[in-house]
């Protein structure tokens, strides 16, 4: 994808709140770097979030001094609120943001935006958790950051590695589709945006960064992490209930795989389901015996079934029925838990009947009865998974290469043009902008709200 020479290619937002000490020096450093490193037209937008110190005046002064700097002033606080405003109103092809303390080395900025300018990716994030990243920060922040990202990956099954690094970029056409769906106006904005983007089948590029913690940072990492966990629960609930229309978003802009995996036939499904069932039954038996050491029979049965049900649904979704669409994973797990509830009723009823017929039966007798009941419940699961949970995917295969199936803005077989400033034939993700010869200028603007 190429852009006219008089268009704005990159808009780098700098959200600030009471940053009078760092704002002037940091923005001048950013301006100098962009001038030296980028040939494509760019600008810097300072987004003042209702600062109560001298931040607003400093932002206005910078905007008056440099034609490539714009200052806007918001009446409310919140990094998410600032980015929503800047990114939705920006005319640039790619919108980005950096933290005002410039903790992330700016040398990562060209590889961050290159895959977006080329059309190779939809979003790009800096990551401090890659093996090649170089990070300097205290143990407390390190543990909280890694713990939060681990929880995020396990709870919502996301693949991006670092949700919180203040160094991100997104194509404007993609941002305009995603941002109206993002509810959070604070620190969780980044995470929510990434979750929705990944669920919608968008491509997220990651760039290892060099990052040095700012010891003077005013961010309360514990309170932020607590709010982020609440945000995770809200977003997960919204995806499951359909409040966030992941399916419609995927149809509009999601990237589909080059080859659509077809689900196996009925016989293949039976064989694969049987294999998954054998493993699940063995896992259930082991878990039941372990739980029985500390819990009564009914509670042990419930917990063993719950743990194996989650793993069973995941395995059957992927291997038995060939479903790989990530946007429906949470809904399928919810339906799987409903099926689990029916299976639990079957096995619980078997315990009730055993207690009536043979009072005082030991754990091993209970296990034999429960295993038999679990096999019956497994048959019930197969029927329900096939005719209810994964029914819509049995005939949903799309012919490979069908242009009608391609998301908006994604070429089916058309080569992607390199961004301005690259040589033909070079890889988009290896692009480094050349030294500029001229940068279009515009009158300094100060926007207030």
Query: Which amino acids are annotated catalytic?
Result: 190
CA dist 428 and 79 (Å) reads 30
Number of H helices, E strands in the chain: 13, 10
Cβ atoms 132, 169 nearer than 8 A: no
Paired strand residues for 207: 126
Q: Tell me 392's DSSP state.
A: G
Contacts with 316 (C-beta within 8 Å, 6 or more apart), sequence order = 272, 273, 276, 385, 390
- A 10 A CB-CB count for 427 gives 12
Cβ atoms 436, 35 nearer than 8 A: yes
Burial class (CB in 10 A: 0-12, 13-18, 19+), 202: buried
Of 414, 240, 202, 422, residue with least CA distance to 331:
240
Strands 134-136 and 94-98: unpaired
CA dist 393 and 38 (Å) reads 46
Give CA angle at 210 (169, 162), nearest 5°: 50
């Amino acid at each position: 994808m190429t852009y006219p020479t008089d268009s704005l290619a990159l808009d780098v937002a700098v959200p600030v709140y009471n940053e009078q000490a760092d704002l002037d020096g940091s923005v001048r450093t950013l301006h100098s770097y962009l001038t030296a490193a980028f040939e494509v037209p760019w600008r810097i937008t300072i987004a003042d979030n209702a600062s109560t110190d001298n931040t607003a005046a400093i932002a206005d002064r910078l905007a008056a001094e440099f034609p490539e700097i714009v200052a806007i002033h918001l009446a409310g606080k919140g990094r998410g609120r600032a980015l929503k405003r800047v990114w939705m109103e920006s005319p640039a092809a790619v919108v980005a943001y950096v933290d005002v303390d410039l903790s992330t080395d700016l040398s990562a900025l060209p590889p961050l935006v290159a895959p977006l300018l080329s059309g190779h990716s939809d979003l790009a994030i800096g990551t401090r958790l890659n093996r090649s990243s170089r990070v300097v920060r205290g143990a407390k922040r390190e543990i909280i950051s890694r713990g939060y990202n681990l929880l995020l990956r396990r709870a919502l099954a996301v693949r991006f590695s670092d949700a919180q690094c203040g160094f991100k970029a997104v194509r404007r056409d993609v941002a305009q589709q995603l941002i109206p769906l993002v509810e959070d106006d604070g620190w969780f904005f980044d995470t929510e945006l990434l979750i929705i983007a990944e669920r919608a089948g968008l491509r997220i590029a990651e760039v290892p960064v060099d990052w040095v913690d700012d010891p003077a940072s005013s961010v309360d990492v514990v309170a932020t992490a607590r709010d982020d966990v609440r945000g995770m629960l809200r977003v997960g609930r919204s995806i499951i209930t359909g409040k966030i229309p992941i399916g419609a978003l995927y149809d509009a802009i999601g990237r589909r795989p080059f080859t659509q995996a077809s689900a196996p036939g009925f016989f293949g499904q039976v064989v694969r389901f049987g294999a998954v069932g054998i493993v699940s039954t063995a896992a259930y038996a082991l878990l039941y015996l372990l739980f029985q050491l500390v819990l009564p029979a009914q509670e042990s049965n419930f917990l063993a079934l719950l743990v194996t049900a989650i793993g069973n649904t995941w395995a059957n979704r992927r291997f038995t029925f060939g479903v790989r669409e990530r946007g429906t994973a949470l809904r399928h797990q919810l339906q799987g838990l409903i099926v689990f509830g029916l299976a639990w009723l079957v096995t619980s009823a078997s315990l009730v009947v055993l207690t009536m017929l043979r009072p005082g039966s030991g754990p091993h007798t209970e296990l034999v009865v429960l295993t038999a009941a679990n096999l019956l419940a497994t048959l019930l699961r197969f029927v329900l998974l096939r005719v209810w949970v994964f029914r819509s995917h049995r005939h949903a295969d799309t012919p490979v290469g069908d242009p009608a199936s391609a998301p908006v803005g994604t070429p089916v077989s058309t080569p992607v043009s390199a961004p301005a400033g690259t040589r033909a034939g070079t890889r988009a993700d290896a692009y480094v902008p050349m030294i500029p010869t001229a940068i279009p200028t515009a009158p300094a603007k100060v926007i207030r709200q």
